[in-house]
Amino acid sequence: MQIRKRNEQDVAVLLDWGKIDHLWVRSTFHPLDRELLIDAYSEQWFLREGDQVTFTVAEIGLNTDDDAILFCNGRNRTNLIYKHQPYIPVSFPDGIPCHKEIQGAIIKVLETGDAVELPDLPVLSVTKLRELAGEK
């Protein structure tokens, strides 16, 4: 699947999330219980232009006060992908933080249009996801 960044000036990378997940867990907005997630993508995470479909990567940052990962957007998609595989594409709006653990988790730098492997899951509408989650 080809990726896209929400903002072209962001720096996108493929991360070994297992090396930094603990930085998210200590955040105020820690991850939801991964086992409770519905195994499906939201259609809002993809952009279709003609025959081409791209996946919009999450935007993350780092709170240096407590070494915690912060999300501009993409908490759920990051959590869902990590439930199924260790490598996750994300972008940093302010450039890659000079943080030893984040630097050590980078597999490679990505550009819009680069292909990454994503779990083979269905893409559902927001309405269908809410229905499956029991929301009205």
pLDDT digits (tens, 9 = 90+) for 97-132: 888 999 999 999 999 999 999 999 999 999 999 999
Structure-block tokens of residue 31: 């991850």
Strands 11-16 and 87-92: antiparallel
- Let me know: does 74 contact 60? Beta carbons within 8 Å: yes
- Let me know: does 54 contact 113? Beta carbons within 8 Å: yes
Confidence (pLDDT) at 1? 95
Whole-prediction pTM: 0.90
Structure-block tokens of residue 96: 């890659």
Instruction: Assign 71 to helix, strand or coil.
Output: strand
Confidence (pLDDT) at 65? 82
Q: What is the mean pLDDT of the chain?
A: 90
